[in-house]
Structure 1
Amino acid sequence: MFSNPWWLLLALPVLAVVAVYVYILRKRRRRALQFANLEVLDRVTPPENRWVRRLRHVPLAVLLVALLLMVVAAAGPQAERKVPRNKATVILVMDVSRSMEATDVAPSRIKAAQAAAKKFADELTEGINLGLISFAGTASSLVTPTPDHAATKAAVDKLQLADKTATGEGIFAAIQQIQTLNSVLGGQAGAPPARIVLLSDGKQTVPDDENDPRGAFTAARKAKEENIPVSTISFGTKTGTVDLDGDRVPVPVDDESLREIANLSGGTFFTASSLDELNKVYETLQQEIGYEMRKGDNSRPWIIAGTILAIIAVVGSLLVNQRVP
């Protein structure tokens, strides 16, 4: 793909030079045949001289290749490039139910989640609007989407655990935040791309059914309608437990429901059972969210290659032919 393909027509004069050069060589050879026996001449000519005769054509050939590369550069070759997004909206939705006290992830699920979330905020591309929502029995909008990622980091430090898990409410709250921001930015048509990143460790408990009007699966379908993918992170292990009123209560992660939320919304499902794994998940998301592929000018490598070959052609001609080609 070229931005100015008509410049490729300049390759025709270059090819014409090749044709003229070959014609001149053949004409010179035919003229020489009229006055000498080339077979005898080849036998009496030292081998090193024959190599020199052949090498004298190389500089011009290299120069012609350099010119062709320059022609391609002039035509404006295009290529897909990964560039930072100028605009996007990301809402972190974090589970703060009591199960996040489990210590199967050191030092605990919630502490590890906080550390990883802050690292994610630090490394997220500048200019992206980042918001934060926490949920337990209800959802709380802690930070409205803003390019000031420090605000999200400060709010992450202040997360407080509570009873129950209303996953659907967290997703609905995130959708509402994104819709509000989009209305300010001029409506859905001109809105930047948006993504919800949901981190949870357990199954929804409020309401009981994920397909309830306020359930997680219903919220995921709504996100799909709004073109807002929900990337889910199942954080923890199957052996996690917490101490509730003196009893050790198992709190295994619920991969199945979180995977279904991602599938229904068009997002991506991840699992993490340690802080290192969670950081890697966030790094992957940062690459997906913070960058986009755009077509852009790719003439630079062609220009560099053409310039290098042109220099080689000139130097080679001076060494072999004692003149510039």
Structure 2
Amino acid sequence: MSRWFAHPWWLLTSLLVLVLVGAYVYEMRRRKARALRFANLDVLKTVTPQARDRFRHVPFALLATGLLLLTIALAGPLAERDVPRNRATVMLVVDVSNSMKATDVAPTRLQAAQAAGKRFADELTAGINLGLVSFAGTASNLVSPTPDHNATKNALGKLKLADKTATGEGIFAAIDQIQTLNSALGGDEHAPPSHIVVLSDGKQTVPESPDADRGGFTAARKAKEEGIPVSTISFGTMHGTVELEAPDGRMERIPVPVDDESLRKIANIAGGHFYTAQSLDELNRVYSSLREQIGTERQRGDNSRPWLIAGSLLVLVGTLGALFLNRRLP
């Protein structure tokens, strides 16, 4: 019972409401019997308003129901709800390899990622520490986790493309940023919850194997050990292409399909979620889903207010009904 009510013993007061209902029923029967005993039935039928008689018990029913709801409010009903999560840490890890200039997502993959990332930062719960890491052949720590989300928005607007894709380096850099903040806050024991969000479009190229020491799968296992979920977003289509300069100076069109498989495995290893997005709208929806997961948490708290309001209104309506309909209190 304590799972649903903070003060379940107050529910015993509902027995008083039942006693009141019993007393009302007893009094009504006793009054009717007395009236039938001493009154002329023919005369009684002509002077008793039938409509008022039909509804005369409604005010008391409303009053009793209202009192019952108030007893529930006294017991402190509990309910789970989403509440803003403060002091959490979120690290955005964005791929800036050359494949991100593909135009299969308008205007380009990178520009769409920048726009969606800025919107994510704008709408993220205030008080959450947000940071940014970019990666291509190496990782760059652009913004350390901070509640000033404008810092991340400004850095997103300055992302530059580079060669190669080192997904593991990006994740390791985000882990380092989170650990640095946790140390400043008093160590892992007092550390707030954290989450890494990786947006990428291509297969890791540095190192060649994702299971290498600095590979994506190894980084995911490290995040798992540290209790940091890693969610991944595979951004783009299977038909993306980019123009790159060949060794002989000619421009070649190179296919750059997204790599769902490796990003899905990273999320599975690190206990996060895997998403796909093939347009800016889809990416915004993914970020919206992540924002709800990261920015809020389920908590069980007091839910007595609706019961208190409903009970008070019914008591008020029942009392007014008794005065206007029956010309007396129930």
Q: What interval of TM-score do these two structures reach, taking the shorter chain for normalisation?
A: over 0.9
Pick which of 147-156 and 52-61 moved more. Answer: 52-61
Please state if 1:272 is matched with 2:285: no
| In 2, Cα distance between equivalents of 1:119 and 1:260 | 27
Please state if 1:182 is matched with 2:185: no
Structure 2 residue identity aligned to 1:134: S
| In 1, Cα distance between equivalents of 2:165 and 2:72 | 59
SS of residue matched to 2:257: coil
**Cα deviations across residues 142-185 of structure 1 (Å, max 9, x unaligned)?**
11101111111111111111111010111111111111111111
| In 2, Cα distance between equivalents of 1:79 and 1:53 | 41
Normalised by the size of structure 2, how large is the TM-score?
0.93
Q: Compared with structure 1, are the counterparts of its residues 101 and 47 closer, same or farther at alpha carbon in structure 2 (3 Å cutoff)? A: farther
Structure 1 residue identity aligned to 2:200: S
Structure 2 residue identity aligned to 1:218: T
Following TM superposition, by how much is the alpha carbon of 1:291 offset from its aligned partner in structure 2, in angstroms? 1.1
**Cα deviations across residues 8-33 of structure 1 (Å, max 9, x unaligned)?**
22212211111111222233344455
SS of residue matched to 1:244: strand
| In 2, Cα distance between equivalents of 1:32 and 1:152 | 82
Residue 293 (structure 1) aligns with: 298
Residue 10 (structure 2) aligns with: 7
Q: Compared with structure 1, are the counterparts of its residues 160 and 25 closer, same or farther at alpha carbon in structure 2 (3 Å cutoff)? A: same
| In 1, Cα distance between equivalents of 2:304 and 2:128 | 30
Residue 20 (structure 1) aligns with: 23
RMSD over aligned Cα, in angstroms?
A: 1.9
Following TM superposition, by how much is the alpha carbon of 1:229 offset from its aligned partner in structure 2, in angstroms? 0.9
**Cα deviations across residues 254-283 of structure 1 (Å, max 9, x unaligned)?**
011111111111111111111111111111
Structure 1 residue identity aligned to 2:158: K
Pick which of 181-190 and 64-73 moved more. Answer: 181-190
How many residues are treated as equivalent by the alignment? 322
Pick which of 246-255 and 210-219 moved more. Answer: 210-219
Following TM superposition, by how much is the alpha carbon of 1:119 offset from its aligned partner in structure 2, in angstroms? 1.1
| In 2, Cα distance between equivalents of 1:35 and 1:119 | 80
Residue 316 (structure 2) aligns with: 311
Identical-pair percentage: 66
Structure 2 residue identity aligned to 1:250: P
Please state if 1:67 is matched with 2:72: no
Following TM superposition, by how much is the alpha carbon of 1:310 offset from its aligned partner in structure 2, in angstroms? 1.5
Structure 1 residue identity aligned to 2:28: L
| In 2, Cα distance between equivalents of 1:57 and 1:106 | 68
Pick which of 147-156 and 194-203 moved more. Answer: 147-156
Q: How does 1:97-112 map to 2 (within 5 A)?
A: 97-112=97-112
Q: How does 1:246-285 map to 2 (within 5 A)?
A: 246-285=251-290
Structure 2 residue identity aligned to 1:21: Y
| In 2, Cα distance between equivalents of 1:47 and 1:201 | 86
Residue 162 (structure 2) aligns with: 162
For structure 2, the 5+ residue unaligned runs are: 246-250
Residue 248 (structure 2) aligns with: none
SS of residue matched to 2:6: coil
Following TM superposition, by how much is the alpha carbon of 1:324 offset from its aligned partner in structure 2, in angstroms? 2.5
| In 1, Cα distance between equivalents of 2:65 and 2:42 | 30
Residue 130 (structure 2) aligns with: 130
For structure 1, the 5+ residue unaligned runs are: none
Residue 49 (structure 2) aligns with: 49
Structure 1 residue identity aligned to 2:293: E
